Amino acid sequence: NAGVTQTPKFQVLKTGQSMTLQCAQDMNHNSMYWYRQDPGMGLRLIYYSASEGTTDKGEVPNGYNVSRLNKREFSLRLESAAPSQTSVYFCASSDLDDYGYTFGSGTRLTVV
Amino acid sequence: AQTVTQSQPEMSVQEAETVTLSCTYDTSESDYYLFWYKQPPSRQMILVIRQEAYKQQNATENRFSVNFQKAAKSFSLKISDSQLGDAAMYFCAYRRPLYTGTASKLTFGTGTRLQVTL
């Protein structure tokens, strides 16, 4: 099925470990986004990529890095995980129109 | 910066009844888009309904409709004939138009958890 694919779906990390969350979309969308969802705080934008080759910080970028590998793929890296990064992470994409996003199914990350 | 406020953390409705979820937003712009997303326990984010600010007519999608009050900056979601499958977290979201030159970033409210009872 067409859409946004995120891997992994679940992950447990120890404090200080690193990992990369992968995201790929097959809809030929230009823009891609990474959000985190925390209880009582809604979804907050971490980083986004308006088009291939560009990335920009969102509302909560500290502790994260991103790579727009090509038009399809947008990865999120945690270099040194901290318990405060325990969250559900969503990748999303959108096209050059004014409709909403297509979301991935999310990654539940726990940092112990 | 735009902000979106959902003042009802939790709501409850009986099956077949009608419920209204509230959303207010703050913006200095005249043109924008508003959305309601549903997040069931599966965690998937599902677009429920979309409203363009330049349209005076309220959007409707089957049992879902909105009450868009531009002057009051209010965007409420009405769910009619509620069903058990409507139980979910609902998020209101705001987005600037693409012609403003910004990436189409969505700003979300904190969500309202809707419980549907028999």
Tell me if B110 and A41 make a contact (CB, 8 A cut-off).
yes
**Could you read off the pLDDT of A8-60 as tens digits, one per residue?**
999 999 999 999 999 999 999 989 999 999 988 899 999 999 888 899 999 99
pLDDT at B80: 98
B:42-71 residues touching chain A, CB 8 A cutoff: 42-45, 47, 50, 52
pLDDT at B94: 94
**Does residue A96 carry a pLDDT above 70?**
no
Q: How confident is the model at residue B102 (pLDDT cuts 50, 70, 90)?
A: low
Best of A9, A29, A43 to substitute, by most chain B Cβ atoms within 10 angstroms, is A43
User: What is the pLDDT of chain A when averaged over all its residues?
Assistant: 93
**Could you read off the pLDDT of B4-34 as tens digits, one per residue?**
999 999 999 999 999 999 999 999 888 899 9
Q: Does A41 touch chain B (CB under 8 A)?
A: yes
pLDDT at A98: 60
**Could you read off the pLDDT of A72-83 as tens digits, one per residue?**
999 999 999 999
> Chain B: residue nearest A5 by CA?
B44
Look at A95-109, B19-33, B47-61 and tell me which has the smallest mean pLDDT.
A95-109
> Chain A: residue nearest B49 by CA?
A100
pLDDT at B63: 97
pLDDT at B83: 97
Tell me which chain A residues have a C-beta less than 8 angstroms from the C-beta of B106: 33, 43, 45, 92, 100-101
In angstroms, the separation between the Cα of residue B41 and the nearest Cα of chain A is 11
User: What is the pLDDT of chain B when averaged over all its residues?
Assistant: 93
What does each C-alpha distance from A29 to A52, A95, B52, B56, B80 come to in angstroms? 10, 5, 21, 29, 34
Tell me if B45 and A56 make a contact (CB, 8 A cut-off).
no
> Chain B: residue nearest A29 by CA?
B104
Nearest C-alpha neighbor of A21 from the set A102, A92, A84: A92
**Could you read off the pLDDT of B79-89 as tens digits, one per residue?**
999 999 999 99
